Homo-oligomer: A and B are copies of this chain.
């Protein structure tokens, strides 16, 4: 029997839930990418600030939405999965993140891009609570959008400054191991809930 061809990687889009350049959650995403299995091809979405405030009147003018929405929607449609690292603002997910999800939840020429999408949620906070309420609210919203949110493991990083060095690099082994477990679990979650299409079957069986 000839050797099996290599399994194509699952494409995973990664979003940090705030715009701040040095956000803990952007650092957490990059640390998660460092720990992810090679079967996941992970990309951090960097043009989040180009997504304008949701306005149904804009959608009436053009069902595809503004240019910044089209780009995010296309990236989401092309992805096999989504990882969201969210900060907590006022006991909930940031408005910026909710606004992007409000756009993505809508019917569009690319379809409803969050429906049946495997999603992992994690988060880091400077304080002691580790974004617990933000993640709970984000899960509820993603559920409403029809996404398939990985139920476990969860990952709440508290006291973020203690986990990264001045360059934003993760420095603690326990954190790295938790991220490795998290990303391996997400790989399995994506395989488990992926649609049973010919393409997906090809990915799984080579």
Q: Is A90 a contact partner of B144 (Cβ separation < 8 A)?
A: yes
Contact between chains at B105 and A98 (CB < 8 Å): no
A180 within 8 A of B: no
Q: Closest B residue to A138 by CB, please name it.
A: B92
The count of chain A contact residues (Cβ–Cβ below 8 Å) is 35
Which one, A39-47, A51-59, A75-83, A168-176, is touching chain B? A51-59
| A141 lies within 8 A of B91 (CB) | yes
Q: Are A140 and B101 in contact (CB under 8 A)?
A: no
What's the number of copies of this chain in the assembled complex? 2
Which A residues from 130 to 168 make CB contacts under 8 A with B? Answer: 133, 137, 140-141, 143-145
A89:B54 contact, CB within 8 angstroms? yes
Q: Which among B54, B56, B92, B99 is the interface contact of A140 at CB below 8 angstroms?
A: B92
CB distance B92 to A144 under 8 Å?
Answer: yes
Q: Does A20 contact B (CB under 8 A)?
A: yes
A57's partner among B20, B89, B91, B140 (CB-CB below 8 A) is B20
Residues of B within 8 A of A51 (CB): 53
Cα-based distance from A133 to B94 in the complex (angstroms): 17
28 intermolecular pairs with C-beta atoms under 8 Å apart? A18-B55, A19-B53, A20-B57, A21-B57, A23-B56, A51-B53, A52-B53, A53-B53, A53-B96, A89-B105, A90-B98, A90-B101, A90-B102, A91-B140, A91-B141, A93-B98, A94-B99, A94-B102, A95-B96, A95-B97, A95-B98, A95-B100, A95-B101, A95-B102, A98-B98, A98-B99, A99-B99, A137-B137
* 8 A-B pairs with the lowest CB-CB distances in the bound complex, closest first: A95-B99, A95-B98, A91-B144, A90-B144, A19-B55, A20-B56, A95-B102, A89-B102
A: residues with CB less than 8 A from B are 18-21, 23, 49, 51-57, 89-102, 105, 133, 137, 140-141, 143-145
